[in-house]
Amino acid sequence: MASLWLRLSVLIFVIGCGAPGFRQAADSLTSAQREQLVATAQSFIGAPYKYGGHTIEGFDCSGLIRAVYGQVLGVELPRTVRGIYYATVEVGSGRVLPGDLVFFRISGGDIDHIGLILDKHQFLHAAEANGVIISSFDDEYYRRRIFCVKRAN
C-alpha cells in the first residue's frame, strides 16, 4: 500500500497539474479542519447523484465538493470542476493530505471529475451510477485517470 501512495505521488509530481503560473499550495488548514472536511463528506455517503445537484437530495461531483467546503470552511468554491480547478493550487509530491482535491480526466479529454481525498488509499466523490461513494486509489480505473491533486487555500 505504501508503494501505491508513492506511485500516486510520483505520478502527480511528473505530470503536474498543467496549469499556467504553477503555484505550490501551503497547508493553511488545521488538522481539525481537515478532519471536519472528511467527516462532513462522509456524512453524505449514499446521497444520490443528480447532475447540477449540490444538496443532500442529490449531488454531482463538483456540487459535493462545493457543499463540503462551504459547510465546513464557509468557502464558496466555483460551481464546476473546471472552475474549482482554476481556483485551487497544486499540491507537491508527498504533500497530499486528507481534504485535498483529486482531479480526474474520466472521459479522456479535459478535467471532468473531482473527489475529496480521505486518506492515502481512498477518496470520496459523487459518481453518476452510485451517488456519493468512497473509491480506492487501488482501483486501476481511477488511478489511470488521475490528473492532479490540488488544495483550496
Catalytic residues: 61, 113, 125
3-state secondary structure (DSSP) of residue 31: helix
Longest dimension (CA), the chain: 38
Helices within the chain (DSSP H only)? 2-15, 31-43, 61-73, 81-87, 140-143
How far apart CA 149 and CA 128 sit, in angstroms, is 21
Q: At what angle do helices 31-43 and 61-73 cross, to 10 degrees?
A: 130
Q: For residue 38, which phi and psi values (nearest 5 degrees)? A: -65, -45
